[in-house]
Amino acid sequence: MVGIIFGSARYENIIAVDIEVEETYRRRGIAAFLTEHMLNSCSEENLTVQWDCVESNTASRMAAEKCGFHLFKKRPYYWFWIS
């Protein structure tokens, strides 16, 4: 697998997406291609796409901005694991 994008959560007409591209295939436009496909599919279903990333993930933020997303809220994230 080179990359994947999927809707990870949905509330009313808003869908949160997650995207991952294998490290050796990054910076080749794959994330933009996958995102464009997701945006087109969601548009047909009248869904608004939301992209979340942690502040330190500049590559994700840059990919989102390249695809036309804009920052609308900054908030802290907390990560928990079950041991």
Is there a domain that residue 72 lies in?
Answer: no
The number of domains in the chain is 1
Is there a domain that residue 13 lies in?
Answer: yes
**Range of the structural domain that residue 35 is part of:** 3-66
Pairwise CA distance, residues 62 & 34, whole Å: 15
Helix (H) or strand (E) holding 59: helix 58-66
pLDDT-derived band at 78, boundaries 50, 70, 90: confident
The pLDDT score that the predictor gives to residue 36 is 95
For residue 71, pLDDT beyond 80: yes
CATH number at residue 24: 3.40.630.30
30: nearest Cα among 55, 5, 62: 5
pLDDT-derived band at 1, boundaries 50, 70, 90: confident
- Predicted confidence (pLDDT) per residue in 3-59, tens digit: 999 999 999 999 999 999 999 999 999 999 999 999 999 999 999 999 998 888 998
